[in-house]
Chains A and B, each alone.
Chain A
Amino acid sequence: DTAVSQTPKYLVTQMGNDKSIKCEQNLGHDTMYWYKQDSKKFLKIMFSYNNKELIINETVPNRFSPKSPDKAHLNLHINSLELGDSAVYFCASSQKGNSPLHFGNGTRLTVT
């Protein structure tokens, strides 16, 4: 069984569109995250939710809006997509504190 699954794996869209990426974890973890990996492989935290409550909200354009309907799901909605949003977006989960992160396989977003 996949521990952290995110869909879609690939997303190609045009500038100005709105898109969503979904993430689900079946590990029973309390905390879920969204990370952005740019073309140079740099990983940047975007958001973190603990039990449906936002706990980390880094400097991210407000076009990005996370939503956590329950502690097993964390979706990412992006409005008015821009070329610079092209990247790989990773969902992850962990228990509290410094427990290791478990990552999904990523969603490669390409904005044309």
Chain B
Amino acid sequence: AQSVTQPDIHITVSEGASLELRCNYSYGATPYLFWYVQSPGQGLQLLLKYFSGDTLVQGIKGFEAEFKRSQSSFNLRKPSVHWSDAAEYFCAVGAGGNQFYFGTGTSLTVIP
């Protein structure tokens, strides 16, 4: 069965520090992978997506993610976090037929 796991419920980082949010997926075929960000009171906004090709994908707001098939992972990274990055982050896998599976989210707190 398809599933997405985000092991970290909550992460706190200092402003300017690097960030890595973990995502593991379970899917039988080649996955379509996404990261979304949700700011308080807002809907989810697409940060980046992986469909095929280069396994390191660049997204908006300075985020990148690396697809590692051998580890079934799609971790999100940012070299230097800004206070405005504080939000909820969701990893998702597209399973075809307009069916998407979301992780339970990682809440990011940024301290000055």
Report A's interface with B, CB cutoff 8 A: 4, 31, 33, 40-43, 45, 48, 50, 55-56, 90, 92, 94, 96-98, 100-106
Contact = CB atoms under 8 A, between A and B. Distances in A.
A92 B98 CA distance: 11
The secondary-structure label for the interface of chain A is strand
B94 to A, nearest CB: 3
A55 B41 contact: no
Interface string B78-106: 00000000001010101111111010110
A100 B46 contact: yes
B58 to A, nearest CB: 15
B46 A101 contact: yes
B100 A101 contact: yes
Residue from A50, A55, A98, A105 having most chain B Cβ neighbours under 10 A: A98
A40 B88 CA distance: 11
Contacts of B43: 4, 90, 92, 103-106
Contact of B44 (A48, A50, A56, A90): A90
Interface in B1-60: 32, 34, 36, 38, 41-46, 49, 51
Contacts of B36: 101, 103
